[in-house]
């Protein structure tokens, strides 16, 4: 079993969860209704918990630094998160559509990983997939409600879908370890994940009265998995690390 391949897979999952967790937390206190303040705050806590659990696997199984070091003491270029998760929260339509796209991909990935030959990841996947059912349910309800709402809500949701879709496809950026992960039955690969994701979200988007745009290969926002990020990630990391950076050796 290729240890580098496993580390690459888990690290990008953990980084995605940490970054989107921070972004979701930014809705606390400013959501359109109190229910959504609570929902996004709760999902943010879940995501950061997922990141911590994944970093802990890397620490325990691969000898990588402990979770706080992995989460707070790496350079921007060392993060493997996709570009979708690092974008600012924008308006509610944008954050909701990002939540819909990302959480369906996340839920599908974890469902696939319940069959992983790497047992620590399979065990975690069996636990986390239950939490993600509530994330996708929340996203589905609101996407359908606003997509089938007023002319304005429908237009804003379709605009968010058009803007977000190329970034969402970047979730599935191929890894140089794809063949090793499949051969060792660790993970069935990004191509298979994207196919299952599209099969899941396409009818839901249609039920919401929305349409997925056509995305050319050149439009897809790749790069994040290899450390190439938008201008938005570094300021977010600086803000996220503001307290701990005062003394990395402090026990928080």
5-38 residue pLDDT tens: 999 999 999 999 999 999 999 877 665 665 676 7
pLDDT of residue 30: 62
For residue 180, tell me if it sits in a domain: yes
User: What is the rounded CA–CA span in Å between residue 240 and residue 187?
Assistant: 31
- Containing 155, the helix (H) or strand (E) segment is helix 151-169
Per-residue pLDDT tens digits for 120-135? 999 999 999 999 999 9
Calculate the CA dihedral of residues 172, 59, 25, 95 and round it to 10 degrees: 0
Percent of the chain with pLDDT over 90: 83
pLDDT of residue 252: 43
What is the rounded average pLDDT of the residues 152-165?
97
Give residue 178's domain range: 3-246
Averaged confidence pLDDT in the chain: 92
Give the count of domains, the chain.
Answer: 1
Between CA 144 and CA 51, with CA 221 as vertex, the angle to 5 degrees is: 75
For residue 252, tell me if it sits in a domain: no
CA atoms within 13 A on the CB side of 86: 29
Domain with residue 235: its CATH number is: 1.20.1260.10
What is the rounded average pLDDT of the residues 147-171?
97
For residue 251, tell me if it sits in a domain: no
- 223 to 84, 174, 226, 228: CA distances (angstroms): 11, 10, 5, 5
Percent of the chain with pLDDT over 70: 93
| Statement: residue 243 has pLDDT above 80 | no
pLDDT of residue 248: 54
Per-residue pLDDT tens digits for 29-76? 665 665 676 788 889 999 999 999 999 999 999 999 999 999 998 999
| Statement: residue 81 has pLDDT above 90 | yes
| Statement: residue 204 has pLDDT above 60 | yes
DSSP code at position 82: -
pTM above 0.75, yes or no: yes
């Amino acid at each position: 079993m290729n240890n580098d391949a496993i580390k690459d897979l888990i690290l990008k999952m953990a980084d995605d969860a940490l970054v989107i967790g921070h972004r979701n937390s930014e809705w606390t206190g400013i959501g359109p209704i109190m229910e959504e303040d609570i929902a996004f705050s709760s999902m943010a806590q879940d995501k950061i918990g997922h990141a911590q659990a994944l970093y802990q696997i890397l620490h325990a199984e691969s000898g990588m630094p402990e979770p706080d070091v992995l989460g707070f003491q790496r350079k921007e270029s060392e993060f493997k998160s996709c570009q979708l998760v690092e974008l600012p929260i924008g308006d509610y339509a944008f954050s909701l559509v990002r939540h819909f796209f990302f959480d369906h991909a996340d839920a599908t990935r974890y469902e696939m990983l319940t069959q992983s030959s790497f047992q620590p990841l399979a065990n975690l996947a069996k636990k986390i997939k239950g939490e993600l059912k509530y994330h996708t349910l929340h996203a589905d309800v609101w996407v359908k409600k606003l997509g089938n709402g007023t002319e304005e809500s429908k237009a804003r949701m379709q605009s968010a879908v058009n803007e977000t879709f190329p970034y969402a496809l970047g979730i599935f950026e191929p890894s140089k370890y794809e063949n090793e992960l499949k051969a060792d039955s660790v993970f069935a690969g990004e191509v298979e994940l994207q196919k299952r994701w599209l099969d899941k979200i396409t009818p839901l988007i249609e039920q919401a009265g929305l349409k997925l745009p056509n995305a050319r290969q050149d439009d897809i926002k790749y790069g994040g998995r290899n450390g190439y990020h938008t201008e938005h990630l570094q300021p977010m990391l600086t803000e996220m690390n503001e307290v701990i950076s005062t003394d990395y050796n402090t026990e928080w």
